[in-house]
Amino acid sequence: MAANDVVLLLNSFDQWKRTAVLGVDDAVAYRLFVYEQVTKEYGLSYEELMHGDVDRPDDGGIDGFFIFLNGVPVAEDTDVGIVAREPVLDLFLIQVKEGQTFEERPLDAVLSTVLRVFDFGRNIDDEGLLNRDLSSAASRFRDAYLVLSARHTKVAVHYYYATRGELQDVNDKVHAKGEQLTREIERLLPGSEADIAFLGARELLVLARQRNPFTLQLRYRGQMITSEPSSYVLLVNLVDYYHFMADDQKRLRKSIFEDNVRDYRGEVEVNAGIRETLRNPVDTLDFWWLNNGVTVVAKRITLDAQSITMDEPQVVNGLQTSYEVFNRFSGVTDDSEQKERRRILVRVIETSDASARDRIIKATNSQNAMPSASLRATDPTQREIEQYFSGHGWYYDRRKNYYKNEGRPADHIVSMQFLAQSLLAIVFREPDNARARPTTAFKSEKDYKRLFDHALSPDTYLLCARIARRVESAVRKLCSDRERGSNFRFHVCTLLAVRHTGTTAYDPDDLSSWQDVDVNDEQIAKCLNEVQEMADAFRLAHSEYSLDGMAKSPEFVVFMLEEARSTTVDS
Least confident stretch, 107-116, 123-132, 383-392, 505-514:
123-132
Torsion of CA 96, 102, 104, 108, to 10 degrees: 20
Residues 50, 100 within the same domain: yes
Assign 571 a pLDDT band (cuts: 50, 70, 90). very low
On the question of pLDDT at 223 being above 70, the answer is no
Q: Which of 157, 176, 209 is at the close of a domain?
A: 209
Q: Which of 370, 394, 421 is at the close of a domain?
A: 370
Q: What is the pLDDT of residues 21-80, one digit of tens each?
A: 677 889 999 999 999 999 988 888 888 999 999 998 888 899 999 999 988 899 888 888
In a domain, 570, yes or no: no
* Parent domain of 147: 2-209
CB atoms within 10 A of CB 561: 17
Q: What is the pLDDT of residues 244-290, one digit of tens each?
A: 999 888 888 877 887 765 556 666 677 888 888 898 888 778 999 99
Least confident stretch, 126-130, 297-301, 460-464, 513-517:
126-130
Q: Which of 153, 177, 209 is at the close of a domain?
A: 209
Of all residues in the chain, the percent with pLDDT exceeding 70 is 91
Assign 365 a pLDDT band (cuts: 50, 70, 90). low
Residue 12: the pLDDT is 86
Residues 426, 512 within the same domain: yes
On the question of pLDDT at 228 being above 90, the answer is no
Residue 373: the pLDDT is 37
In a domain, 141, yes or no: yes
Residue 31: the pLDDT is 96
How is 403-455 classified by DSSP, letter by letter?
HHHTT--GGGEEEHHHHHHHHHHHTS--HHHHHH-TTGGGTSHHHHHHHS-TT
Q: At what angle do helices 104-117 and 132-148 cross, to 10 degrees?
A: 50
Give the containing element (helix H, strand E) for 546: none
Cα 489 from Cα 478, distance rounded (Å): 11
- The residues facing 194 across adjacent strands are 157
Residue 78: the pLDDT is 85
Cα 520 from Cα 185, distance rounded (Å): 47
Residue 229: the pLDDT is 64
Assign 102 a pLDDT band (cuts: 50, 70, 90). very high
Cα 25 from Cα 334, distance rounded (Å): 51
Q: What is the pLDDT of residues 178-197, one digit of tens each?
A: 999 999 999 999 989 999 99
On the question of pLDDT at 147 being above 60, the answer is yes
Distance of CA 358 to the CA centre of its chain: 21
Distances (CA, A) of 108 to 178, 192, 438, 504: 9, 21, 35, 51
Residues 488, 461 within the same domain: yes
Tell me if 365 sits within 8 A of 319, measured CB to CB: no
> How many domains, in total, are found in the chain?
3
Beta-carbon contacts of residue 205 (< 8 Å; ≥ 6 apart): 5, 8, 9, 12
Residues 195, 220 within the same domain: no
DSSP-derived secondary structure letter, 86: P
Residues 386, 482 within the same domain: yes
Cα 499 from Cα 492, distance rounded (Å): 10
Cα 87 from Cα 154, distance rounded (Å): 6
Residue 127: the pLDDT is 63
Nearest to 133 by CA among 57, 37, 46: 57
Distances (CA, A) of 85 to 119, 255, 320, 474, 567: 28, 18, 11, 41, 53
Assign 374 a pLDDT band (cuts: 50, 70, 90). very low
In a domain, 571, yes or no: no
